[in-house]
Structure 1
Amino acid sequence: MPELHPVLSGEQILEQVVSNKKYFNNTQNVEEPDINAIMSSSDNALLAEIGYKAELTRNFSTLQVFGVAFSIMGLLPSIASVTATALTAGPAGALWGWIIASLFILTIGVGMAELGSAMPTSGGLYYWTNYFSPPKYKTVISYLVGNTNSIALVGALCSVDYGFAQEVLSIVVIAKDGDFTLTPAKNYGVFVACVVAHIFVTCASSKHISKLQTASIIVNILIIVLYIIALPIGASPNFKDGKYIFGQLDNYSTWPKGWQFVLSWMPAIWTIGAFDSCVHMSEEAHNATRSIPIGILGSITTCFVLGTVIIIVTTACIQTDDIAGHIIGTDLGQPMAQIIYDALGKKWAIAFMILIAIAQFMMGASILTAISRQIWAFARDNGLPFSFWIKKVNKKLSVPINAVWFGGIVAILIGCLCLIGPAGSNALFSLYIAGNYFAWGTPIFFRLTTGRSKFKPGPFYLGKFWSPVISWTAVAFIVFVIIMVMFPAGVNPDRETMNYTCVITPGVWILSLVYYMVYAHKNYHGPCKTVDIDESEGISIEGIDAALDEEERSNEKA
């Protein structure tokens, strides 16, 4: 694996070029250099030092990198999907669970942002694991991380699109005044239609998909603003007081009250959980060493703040004291739909659920984009079956179309868990959490231990003291969460309340290891070098100066 050497960022190159006045002061017929091209060249030079040839066009700005994560988090739709879990510990459990979990999640974001700033590549999680792990075990561990991350992201798509199906069917129930029977088969049918639609949307050109992220930011913000304005107007004057919102801890499960409060952290853990998508967009981002950490930390912080506001507004506007029966056990099939219905009535409830469903659909499109890049990167290193086919890129669209189809088809197959009922659909949520937390924590852990001397910070780094303190906190929280998501919905679980994550997630790890030992070890040898440093299209200030000198001489001759 090549050692990383400092590479000037696009901003640094731009700064030095602009400050070199001899090219731009009183000079006629000399065009300023294409800054986007310069920045892309710098990004590609760093990618070449990491070991990869640039195959995707860098169409994503820093805002759009942020938009990928923020769109996947899809704040209001995501909170709507897990409202029942949040309120199981009462309104105060929902609020404080969100705040506590968000702060811990931010520590994970810091650890990942430091790695993404130092070594930005689409397959970052398994690449970093391979780089920092003990040499004897790095290949198998990186394979396990790459495979787990791929499956976990597919699980995320399943949970997002299953939430979309629930929202769409809740609209039907409201429109028909309850005269509509919800079944697992109907949920699965809408789910499959949604996944297929996302496949076609995500196959659009990279430029169009990048613009979709900007649109998604606007849509999500507008829905949140409309929600926090309209819901209080409809609920007035029947507001819950501050004691209810901040201090009313309940327990609508069979677990002890303290443990149920801890389980109320799950909504934040599930919602604020797509920030690794910024890493997977590294090879399509301008100035990746800065845009990746900005995207990760910006999306986490924004969702933390706005999510806190949403939960306060929602709990303040609940129109009933019967949370367990009327909200969590609603006949509408969607607790958030019931809260909106009670406060605003049928027409507004339908309108809001349509808007939430639109935002949820955009979430799915964004997450399939991130999935396809991770799958493509892992296939580029021969980590998946049919890698020779999956890793092909459509040069015209700058999209790994085969990887998009592969991710979508696997999602449809895994989504069959929806047919089991609520227990199966909950497993989709937990599979995404357990798998991703394992994939996030492994490279952070090895960077702190066996790879400590190899780590060379990028532009974003918190220093020798705070960096390890925060990263060790993240590792401890990750271990805790992986254990927590294995717990069932209550004591003495039956077929309906069983948490199948404790079977599915370890099953993925075991099958991955078996597949590696039987077959994958023949083809997967860790991240592959697809370009030699000597052949990379590096860029330097001296190179730019030489090019501008040559252009100036040509103009003088002319």
Structure 2
Amino acid sequence: MADAIIGDEVKGARTQVPHSMILAVTLNSIMQFAFMVAVMFCIGDVDQVTNTPTLLPIIEVYYQATKSKPATNFLVAMIAFILFISLFNIFASVSRLTWAFARDNGLPFSKVFPHVHPTLKIPINSLLLVGTICCLLALINIGSSTAFNALISLPTIALYISYFIPIFFLVIRKLHNRHPTYGPFRLGRWGLPINLVSLVYIVYVLIFLPFPTMLPVTAANMNYAGPLVGAIILIALGDWFVSGRKRFEVPIARAAKGE
């Protein structure tokens, strides 16, 4: 969704955005596989890595491989630098998504967040909202690492749910022989089988992702991502029935009116 919103500013978005997404996923998969192979060969004492008191076991892996604290710090700093750079893309996409949703009156206080700064030419209020929420969520780790881990697991489940919904309705249309209007990419006769396999895989992932990672289950090792997803869905439904259905404007309907 965020890629689609940013795609409004890309020339030839119907082909350039999918190409960039596919290329990014392919390159990252190759590099991640190579990285994990290297980690597996250099992991050293598995028990020591598993029981490391640090939040990032990779720190112990680096230290066992290099036997040097400066080298370990340098390698960890490289990961931190990559994460820092990636935050700019995340803030850009999420703030733009917030701006677009608020523009359609899909959020509470939607009159505040669509504002675009006249000089900076960015949705400054949406960006501040996203940044503030991220900072507040990061502070949760100070009080409870269990709650923090549940929150960072939440986007994974939400991501798969967002994948499931459009594929599910696309499959329904195909089964009723009401094929949608296709863009420049089409899977042809393989489209429906691939969609069905995708749905089965997503359901499998959604079933097992909320499971606890170890037994016996305690309050400290419980996986709270599933209940959090349910709570957020209930909050969103509550907002919809209270005021959202009255204020939300479907983008397609607005476009049809020539706005």
Please give the TM-score of this superposition, normalised by the length of structure 1. Answer: 0.43
- Residue 111 of structure 2 aligns to a residue whose secondary structure is helix
Question: 1:455 aligns to what?
Answer: 180
Choose the corresponding residue for 1:329, options 36, 51, 54.
51
- How far off its partner does 1:530 sit? 4.7
The Cα offsets for residues 518-539 of structure 1, whole Å up to 9 and x where unpaired, read as 111110143255556868xxxx
Partner Cα separation in structure 2 for residue 497 and residue 334 of structure 1: 16
Question: 1:512 aligns to what?
Answer: 236
Q: 1:518/1:475 Cα in 2 relative to 1: closer, same or farther (>3 Å)?
A: same
- How far off its partner does 1:286 sit? 2.0
Q: Flag as ranges the 4+ runs of structure 1 deviating above 4 A.
A: 528-535
Partner Cα separation in structure 1 for residue 34 and residue 225 of structure 2: 31
Partner Cα separation in structure 2 for residue 526 and residue 419 of structure 1: 40
Question: 1:360 aligns to what?
Answer: 83
- Residue 519 of structure 1 aligns to a residue whose secondary structure is helix
RMSD across aligned positions (CA): 2.1
Alignment of 1:122-201 (within 5 A): 124=1
Partner Cα separation in structure 1 for residue 180 and residue 117 of structure 2: 34
The Cα offsets for residues 278-309 of structure 1, whole Å up to 9 and x where unpaired, read as 33321122210011211221122112211111
Partner Cα separation in structure 2 for residue 437 and residue 500 of structure 1: 17
Partner Cα separation in structure 1 for residue 137 and residue 232 of structure 2: 12
- How far off its partner does 1:333 sit? 3.6
Stretches of structure 1 lacking an aligned partner (at least 5 in a row): 1-123, 125-276, 536-558
The Cα offsets for residues 143-181 of structure 1, whole Å up to 9 and x where unpaired, read as xxxxxxxxxxxxxxxxxxxxxxxxxxxxxxxxxxxxxxx
Q: Is this contact kept in 2: 1:376–1:390, CA < 8 A?
A: yes
Alignment of 1:12-51 (within 5 A): none
- How far off its partner does 1:331 sit? 3.4
Stretches of structure 2 lacking an aligned partner (at least 5 in a row): none
- How far off its partner does 1:311 sit? 0.9
Larger-Rg structure = 1
Question: 1:394 aligns to what?
Answer: 117
- Residue 112 of structure 2 aligns to a residue whose secondary structure is helix
Partner Cα separation in structure 2 for residue 370 and residue 288 of structure 1: 15
Please give the TM-score of this superposition, normalised by the length of structure 2. Answer: 0.90
- Do residues 486 (structure 1) and 210 (structure 2) align? yes
Choose the corresponding residue for 2:29, options 304, 316, 328.
304
Question: 1:37 aligns to what?
Answer: none
Q: 1:314/1:294 Cα in 2 relative to 1: closer, same or farther (>3 Å)?
A: same
Partner Cα separation in structure 2 for residue 280 and residue 383 of structure 1: 15
- Do residues 319 (structure 1) and 41 (structure 2) align? no
Identity rate of aligned residues, in percent? Answer: 26
Greater relative contact order, per chain length (Cα 8 Å cut-off, separation 6+): 1
Partner Cα separation in structure 1 for residue 217 and residue 96 of structure 2: 38
Partner Cα separation in structure 2 for residue 318 and residue 331 of structure 1: 16
Partner Cα separation in structure 2 for residue 466 and residue 396 of structure 1: 49
Partner Cα separation in structure 1 for residue 143 and residue 57 of structure 2: 21
Question: 2:226 aligns to what?
Answer: 502
The code of the aligned residue for 1:516 comes to W
Question: 1:350 aligns to what?
Answer: 73
The number of residue pairs the alignment matches comes to: 256
The code of the aligned residue for 1:491 comes to L
Q: 1:517/1:332 Cα in 2 relative to 1: closer, same or farther (>3 Å)?
A: closer
- Do residues 295 (structure 1) and 17 (structure 2) align? no
Q: Is this contact kept in 2: 1:433–1:482, CA < 8 A?
A: no
